[in-house]
Chain A
Amino acid sequence: MPLWSRLANFLRGDHLNREIDEEFQSHIEEAIEQGRDPAEARKAFGSALRHREESRDIRLVAWLESLRADAVFGWRQLNKTRVTSLAAILSLALAIGACTSAFRLIDALLLRPLPVANAERLYDLSRQGIGPDNKPQTFDGWAYPDFQLMRAAVANQAELIAVSYAEPVDLTYKSDEEMEKAYLQYVSGWMFPTLGIRPALGRVFTENDDLKPGGHPYAVLSHDYWTHRFGQDPGVIGRTFRLGNTIYEIAGVAEAPFTGTEPGTIVDIFVPIMMHPGVTRKDWTWHRTLFMPKPGVLENDRTALESIRQKLQATFRAFEEERAKGFLGMRKEDIDHFLNQTLLLEPAATGVSALQSETRRPLAILGVLVALVLLIACANVANLMTAQASARAREMAVRVSIGGGRWRLVQLVLLQSAWLALLAAVLGGLFAWWSGPFVVSMINPPDNPARLLLPADWRVLSFGLALALGVTLLFGLAPALRASSVNPVSALKGGEDPHSRRRLMHALIAVQVSFCFLVLFVAGLFVTTFKRLSNQPTGFSVDRLLVLDTVAKQPQSLEFWEQVAERLRSVQGVEKVALADEPLLGAGSWNNFISVNGAPPNGILSYMRAVSPGWLETMKIPLIDGRDFLPSDAHPGSALVNETFAKVYFDGLDPVGKTFDLSFDEGVRLRYQIVGLVGDVRYKSLREPILPQLYVPFHSVDATGATVKKTNGTLLVRTSLSSPLALASTLRQEVPQVRSEFRVSRIRRQLEINQSHTVRERLLATLALFFAIVALLLAGVGLYGVLHYSVLQRRREIGIRIAVGAQAGGIARLVTRDVFSMVLFGAAAGVGLGMVSVRFIESLFYQVKATDLQMLALPALTILAGALLAALPAVIRAVRIDPVTMLRAE
């Protein structure tokens, strides 16, 4: 009986019983049909139960017994060659672990549905169009008044849910001195009932929490936050915290495991969308819109989704057309682009987050690399098993000739593979357990500790098991079938064709080398990308520079802000201090169109930053012409511009002394005079070309000429210390000393901000490099094993050759010739594979091309060097064969 049907018997014991019963029944019926007395027929049959047991035992026990015997035998075989088995298990464990770990990450971030009711019916609303820079862009931020119109337009068919981008905020449960960070998300009250999220304590929000802007100061905690911040204290209901100037009361705790709709961010606190300051603004796009069709709507009508989308599109367009009437000074072309955006409904069963879209491709690439490493490891183990099988050819032949069934032999070899895979899977599981969170910590920018739930549940477990099973079949089946097809006569006579085994092993070496080349090649490209991007000149100096995000309880006058800066200048170890609205390369971006000499704007956006006098010097940005801001300069009025600005708007001529206009909504136009020309810097991205930039004074005045008071500012502190963070606590204490309203909410090094722009590249470079090393190691071990085996197998021939006077060089060539031609063949195939596959990942590279000779030569040379090193022990062994001992022994 074939193995699978025995397995089926084993797993379906009841079925087997029924089958036996049915057979007995049909026997009795047959007997009666043939004219036997029914009672007598039954009696003759005796106790059906006893027969059944007997038959069942025969069919089951035999198999179980053979399984047990083979398992024990397989274990003994592994023990016999302990070192090679250990090498096989470890390399396989590393590969399985890496694969499981990659799956865990990809599953948690990209595949796992949100833990809500009907997640599969969730969509995310976004719009696609041509951006101000004339490039296609997609954006999923919406204005709340627009959201309200769209929700009403499709109310019969679907529910729309507004959820803000989750953000870290400062809040306090006690005094202002005890501010703490928490991740906050503004959500529609009906999100909870729509997604079927019940309270674990107290209540969750409903439609009634979304009636009046600013009128619902209540909060719902996530179960996770309730656990780690309050230790699941039920007394938390009714407690209050202050966020900004509003006191919120905790109304309830949402049930686990819901932690918001953004994989990668665990929301601590939900507050009603009505509490957001932008809830009535038509020009603030600050929240995502989730969409869930009512039950049955999509099922009953396939075109329903499209007709709803068109309804939403019409509503959205009408809203924006109304708004565009106020756009003065914008080119018609840009307004058309703005209005002609297409509304998209994209499935969002797994939630929506920036982390998802940023890491989707990098993770897919890592998944492929890790799969290649697994295949390399499988090839290793397959070679090991083939070599072992050849050593066992006689044993197999004996088994066949004394009547061992072929299937039984397959089972025997497969069970040994299963042992390997099982042990490797356990070790690999431990590795995955450790490495998953480690990789997550690498995706995280240091100042924004995103958290990802990495559950190790049945999904991960079954993936691991499926992997182990697949791997067993992959590396075990070929040797098993080969072993079982042994021809006893030739095997017992002294071995079958020895070249056939070597051919299989050589083919596997070629495959290994080509995969290894691919991994090395891709790793080289990512490492170069990371290096070039990190070494990208930014135009300013990050050395010993601290960035202090500072907030004030109430808006503070410029005078007080300057006092704070002055106070910090007196701190020991501080060289220079300047004020700005936000740091360079930070998250904040602010832009506008420029019109020169009253002409309409040319459609190129200019990016802005508000800075104090001395900011240029503190940042070490060169002043090329003109002067820095003076304390008397104000916004609007004076401006500094960079070289790209001069190129784009003034044809590269020196713009100092010239003027330009900025136009704002509602037709306000403001005139600026350029007082200085400064060097180009990186404003928001290391990859994009340098943007036209303009700087306005931090000191801003309103229409009446009065100074505008500010609640937020960034203090840039250039220190003389090599580890500037040593000053952090001093600076933090000094700031409130000036006025108690001031508080530092966050201190970072500018270096960290810059590094956060290369997180993805660093992740790819580090992990790809790690996999490249593993791949090289595995391929080296594989090559070593095959050469070792082939020398062992040909030792007689080599002995004779040495005896008749062959030179060491000739022997070395003889031993390595075949394998090295396989290495070259594999490398050539690897180049081909590499050329084809880089097309899919080109967009992730920076200033590096796959066709660069250096990029191809480096992995090729590395592999060649690795191959030489791996071949060395076998060659030495071959050359050292003593013909006398060898021939005497045979």
Chain B
Amino acid sequence: MPKPDSLQGSLDLLVLKILSRRARLHGYAIMSAIQNMSREVLRVEEGSLYPALHRMEEAGWIRAEWVTKDSGKRARMYELTAAGKKQLGAEESRWQAVTSAINRVLREA
């Protein structure tokens, strides 16, 4: 089973992708989404997730907003920006390039 560290580098891509499908998620929802969609293979730790979210927010790829939930509690919801969409495209093609390159190496070695 891959260690959480193995997400390094691809965490941004995952978060951006998830936010591009489902607008406005809070941190916990993003975390569970990664876990569920990877069928529990990929786990992201809170200690990595939040700094990454804040970094991407700072870079202008995502933006956050405080929303009051039905329970009356506040949650910080994230969504993708236009710049984030571009970034997602770039990261996706980079990922494709890297994985296909790695696959080629695995096949032909």
Report whether A26 and B45 are in contact in the complex, using a CB–CB cutoff of 8 Å. no
A433 within 8 A of B: no
- Which of A45, A50, A63 has the most C-beta atoms of chain B within 10 angstroms of its own C-beta? A45
In B23-64, which residues have CB < 8 Å from any A CB?
26-29, 32, 45-47, 50-51, 54-55, 57-58, 60, 63
Report whether A58 and B46 are in contact in the complex, using a CB–CB cutoff of 8 Å. no
Q: A26-B75, A59-B54, A59-B58 are in contact. Are A51 and B47 (CB under 8 A)?
A: yes
Q: A22-B74, A405-B60 are in contact. Are A27 and B46 (CB under 8 A)?
A: yes
Tell me the smallest distance from the CB of B81 to a CB of chain A, in Å: 10
Kindly identify which residue among A19, A27, A34, A62 contacts B27, using a CB–CB cutoff of 8 Å. Answer: A27
Distance between Cα atoms of A85 and B84 in the complex (Å): 39
Residues of chain A within 8 A of B58, CB atoms compared:
1, 58-59, 62-63
Distance between Cα atoms of A122 and B59 in the complex (Å): 56
Residues of chain A within 8 A of B32, CB atoms compared:
34
Residues of chain A within 8 A of B74, CB atoms compared:
22, 26
Kindly identify which residue among A30, A46, A63 contacts B75, using a CB–CB cutoff of 8 Å. Answer: A30
Report whether B76 and A45 are in contact in the complex, using a CB–CB cutoff of 8 Å. no
A44 within 8 A of B: yes
Residues of chain A within 8 A of B28, CB atoms compared:
26-27, 30-31, 34
Report whether A44 and B50 are in contact in the complex, using a CB–CB cutoff of 8 Å. no
Residues of chain B within 8 A of A23, CB atoms compared:
27, 50, 75-76
Residues of chain A within 8 A of B83, CB atoms compared:
405
Q: A27-B26, A62-B58, A405-B60 are in contact. Are A55 and B46 (CB under 8 A)?
A: no
Report whether B57 and A26 are in contact in the complex, using a CB–CB cutoff of 8 Å. no
- Which of A22, A46, A54, A58 has the most C-beta atoms of chain B within 10 angstroms of its own C-beta? A58
Distance between Cα atoms of A407 and B62 in the complex (Å): 15
Distance between Cα atoms of A199 and B84 in the complex (Å): 69
How many residues does chain A have at the interface if contact means C-beta atoms less than 8 Å apart?
A: 24
Q: Mark A45-76, 1 if CB is under 8 A from B, else 0.
A: 11000110011001100110000000000000
Distance between Cα atoms of A58 and B51 in the complex (Å): 7
In A1-48, which residues have CB < 8 Å from any B CB?
1, 19-20, 22-24, 26-27, 29-31, 34, 44-46
- Which of B45, B46, B74, B83 has the most C-beta atoms of chain A within 10 angstroms of its own C-beta? B46
Distance between Cα atoms of A826 and B47 in the complex (Å): 63
Report whether B76 and A55 are in contact in the complex, using a CB–CB cutoff of 8 Å. no
Report whether B26 and A30 are in contact in the complex, using a CB–CB cutoff of 8 Å. yes
Kindly identify which residue among B29, B46, B54, B73 contacts A46, using a CB–CB cutoff of 8 Å. Answer: B46
Distance between Cα atoms of A539 and B3 in the complex (Å): 107
Report whether A55 and B45 are in contact in the complex, using a CB–CB cutoff of 8 Å. no
Tell me the smallest distance from the CB of A484 to a CB of chain B, in Å: 14
Tell me the smallest distance from the CB of B33 to a CB of chain A, in Å: 12
Kindly identify which residue among A1, A24, A62, A405 contacts B50, using a CB–CB cutoff of 8 Å. Answer: A24
Q: Mark B69-86, 1 if CB is under 8 A from A, else 0.
A: 000011110000001000
Distance between Cα atoms of A405 and B26 in the complex (Å): 25
Report whether A26 and B46 are in contact in the complex, using a CB–CB cutoff of 8 Å. no
Using CB atoms, name the residue of chain A closest to B60: A405
Report whether A51 and B75 are in contact in the complex, using a CB–CB cutoff of 8 Å. no
Distance between Cα atoms of A31 and B30 in the complex (Å): 12
Distance between Cα atoms of A23 and B57 in the complex (Å): 14
Residues of chain A within 8 A of B51, CB atoms compared:
51, 54-55, 58
Distance between Cα atoms of A34 and B63 in the complex (Å): 25
Residues of chain A within 8 A of B76, CB atoms compared:
19, 22-23, 26
Distance between Cα atoms of A296 and B31 in the complex (Å): 62
Report whether A45 and B46 are in contact in the complex, using a CB–CB cutoff of 8 Å. yes
Distance between Cα atoms of A1 and B58 in the complex (Å): 6
Report whether B54 and A26 are in contact in the complex, using a CB–CB cutoff of 8 Å. no
In A647-668, which residues have CB < 8 Å from any B CB?
none
Report whether A55 and B73 are in contact in the complex, using a CB–CB cutoff of 8 Å. no
Tell me the smallest distance from the CB of B105 to a CB of chain A, in Å: 30
Report whether B26 and A26 are in contact in the complex, using a CB–CB cutoff of 8 Å. yes
Q: Mark B6-36, 1 if CB is under 8 A from A, else 0.
A: 0000000000000000000011110010000
Tell me the smallest distance from the CB of B63 to a CB of chain A, in Å: 8
Distance between Cα atoms of A27 and B27 in the complex (Å): 7
Residues of chain A within 8 A of B29, CB atoms compared:
30
Report whether A1 and B46 are in contact in the complex, using a CB–CB cutoff of 8 Å. no
Residues of chain B within 8 A of A54, CB atoms compared:
50-51
Q: A1-B57, A1-B60, A29-B73 are in contact. Are A51 and B46 (CB under 8 A)?
A: yes
Kindly identify which residue among A29, A31, A58, A63 contacts B54, using a CB–CB cutoff of 8 Å. Answer: A58
Report whether A44 and B75 are in contact in the complex, using a CB–CB cutoff of 8 Å. no
Kindly identify which residue among A24, A31, A45, A59 contacts B57, using a CB–CB cutoff of 8 Å. Answer: A59
Report whether B46 and A44 are in contact in the complex, using a CB–CB cutoff of 8 Å. yes
Tell me the smallest distance from the CB of B12 to a CB of chain A, in Å: 13
Q: Mark A385-404, 1 if CB is under 8 A from B, else 0.
A: 00000000000000000000
Residues of chain A within 8 A of B50, CB atoms compared:
20, 23-24, 51, 54-55
Using CB atoms, name the residue of chain A closest to B46: A45
Report whether A55 and B26 are in contact in the complex, using a CB–CB cutoff of 8 Å. no
Kindly identify which residue among A26, A45, A58, A405 contacts B55, using a CB–CB cutoff of 8 Å. Answer: A58
Using CB atoms, name the residue of chain A closest to B69: A26
Tell me the smallest distance from the CB of B60 to a CB of chain A, in Å: 6
Tell me the smallest distance from the CB of B62 to a CB of chain A, in Å: 10
Distance between Cα atoms of A45 and B44 in the complex (Å): 11
Q: A1-B58, A26-B73, A59-B58 are in contact. Are A46 and B27 (CB under 8 A)?
A: no
Distance between Cα atoms of A22 and B45 in the complex (Å): 18
Residues of chain B within 8 A of A20, CB atoms compared:
50
Distance between Cα atoms of A19 and B29 in the complex (Å): 18
Distance between Cα atoms of A173 and B77 in the complex (Å): 80
Distance between Cα atoms of A55 and B57 in the complex (Å): 11
Residues of chain A within 8 A of B75, CB atoms compared:
23, 26, 30
Distance between Cα atoms of A59 and B29 in the complex (Å): 22
Tell me the smallest distance from the CB of A325 to a CB of chain B, in Å: 79
Residues of chain B within 8 A of A59, CB atoms compared:
54, 57-58
Residues of chain B within 8 A of A46, CB atoms compared:
45-47
Using CB atoms, name the residue of chain A closest to B83: A405
Distance between Cα atoms of A44 and B45 in the complex (Å): 8
Report whether A55 and B47 are in contact in the complex, using a CB–CB cutoff of 8 Å. no
Distance between Cα atoms of A742 and B49 in the complex (Å): 97
Distance between Cα atoms of A50 and B47 in the complex (Å): 9
Tell me the smallest distance from the CB of A265 to a CB of chain B, in Å: 58
Distance between Cα atoms of A26 and B74 in the complex (Å): 7
Residues of chain B within 8 A of A405, CB atoms compared:
60, 83
Distance between Cα atoms of A46 and B28 in the complex (Å): 15
In B62-109, which residues have CB < 8 Å from any A CB?
63, 73-76, 83
Tell me the smallest distance from the CB of A390 to a CB of chain B, in Å: 27
- Which of B45, B55, B63 has the most C-beta atoms of chain A within 10 angstroms of its own C-beta? B55
Distance between Cα atoms of A856 and B97 in the complex (Å): 75
5 tightest A-B CB contacts, nearest first: A30-B28, A55-B54, A23-B76, A58-B54, A54-B51
Besides A22-B76, A27-B27, A34-B32, 7 new A-B residue pairs in contact (Cβ under 8 A), listed by A number: A26-B73, A29-B73, A30-B26, A34-B28, A45-B46, A58-B54, A62-B58
27 A-B pairs (CB sep. < 8 Å): A1-B57, A1-B63, A20-B50, A22-B74, A23-B50, A23-B75, A24-B50, A26-B26, A26-B73, A27-B27, A27-B46, A29-B73, A30-B26, A30-B28, A31-B28, A44-B45, A46-B47, A50-B47, A54-B50, A54-B51, A58-B54, A58-B55, A58-B58, A59-B54, A59-B57, A59-B58, A63-B58
